[in-house]
Chain A
Amino acid sequence: MFDYEKSINDCMELITPASILSSDTSLLDSITAFETVSGPFFLILQGNQFIGWLSYKDLHKQPLRLCLFSMLINLERMLLEVALKNSKESFKKMPENRLKKAQELYKLKKFNFTQSGDYYTSNLMECTNMIDKFTIAQNTQSVVEMVPVLKNDHLCRKAEMLRNEIAHPGMEEQSSNLPNRESLWPFIQWAETLEDQLQNYLEYVRG
Chain B
Amino acid sequence: MDKLIAVTTVSLSDTKAGKNIKHLIDDDMTSNSHFQQLAHLITVTDICTPFLSTFESRSLVRVVWTEWSDLCDERGLDPVEQIAIVTDENKVIGWIGYV
Q: Which residues of A lie under 8 Å from residue B85 when comparing CB positions? A: 50
CA distance A25 to B40 in the complex (A): 9
Given A12-B96, A71-B34, A192-B36, decide whether A53 and B61 contact each other with a Cβ distance below 8 A: no
Q: Which residues of A lie under 8 Å from residue B41 when comparing CB positions? A: 26
Residue of B nearest to A40 (CB): B99
B33 touches A54 (CB 8 A): no
Please encode chain A, from 15 to 44, with 1 for each CB lying within 8 Å of some chain B CB and 0 for all others.
Answer: 100000101111110110000000011111
A6 touches B61 (CB 8 A): yes
With an 8 Å Cβ cutoff, the count of chain B residues facing the other chain is 39
Residue of A nearest to B64 (CB): A8
Q: Which residues of A lie under 8 Å from residue B88 when comparing CB positions? A: 9
A53 touches B39 (CB 8 A): no
A15 touches B93 (CB 8 A): yes
**Is chain B's interface secondary structure helix, strand, loop, or mixed overall?**
mixed
Cβ 8 A contact of A58, one of B36, B38, B43, B47: B47
Within residues 1 to 15 of chain A, which ones have a CB less than 8 A from any CB in chain B? 2-15
B20 to chain A, nearest CB (A): 11
Q: Which residues of B lie under 8 Å from residue A43 when comparing CB positions? A: 95
In this complex, the member of A9, A21, A71 whose beta carbon has the largest number of chain B beta carbons within 10 angstroms is A9
Q: Which residues of A lie under 8 Å from residue B94 when comparing CB positions? A: 12-15
Please encode chain B, from 59 to 89, with 1 for each CB lying within 8 Å of some chain A CB and 0 for all others.
Answer: 1111011000000000000000001011010
Q: Which residues of A lie under 8 Å from residue B47 when comparing CB positions? A: 27, 54, 58-59, 61, 63-64
B49 touches A66 (CB 8 A): no
CA distance A70 to B37 in the complex (A): 10
Cβ 8 A contact of B61, one of A8, A188, A199: A8
Residue of A nearest to B38 (CB): A67
Q: Which residues of A lie under 8 Å from residue B29 when comparing CB positions? A: none
Query: Is A94 located at the chain interface by the 8 A CB criterion?
Result: no
B49 touches A58 (CB 8 A): yes
Query: Is B7 located at the chain interface by the 8 A CB criterion?
Result: no
Residue of B nearest to A192 (CB): B33
Q: Which residues of B lie under 8 Å from residue A51 when comparing CB positions? A: 45, 48, 50
Interface on B for A, CB 8 Å cutoff? Answer: 1, 32-36, 38-51, 55, 57-62, 64-65, 83, 85-86, 88, 92-96, 99
- 10 residue pairs from A and B, CB less than 8 Å apart: A9-B58, A10-B61, A13-B95, A13-B96, A26-B41, A27-B42, A53-B48, A54-B47, A67-B38, A196-B33
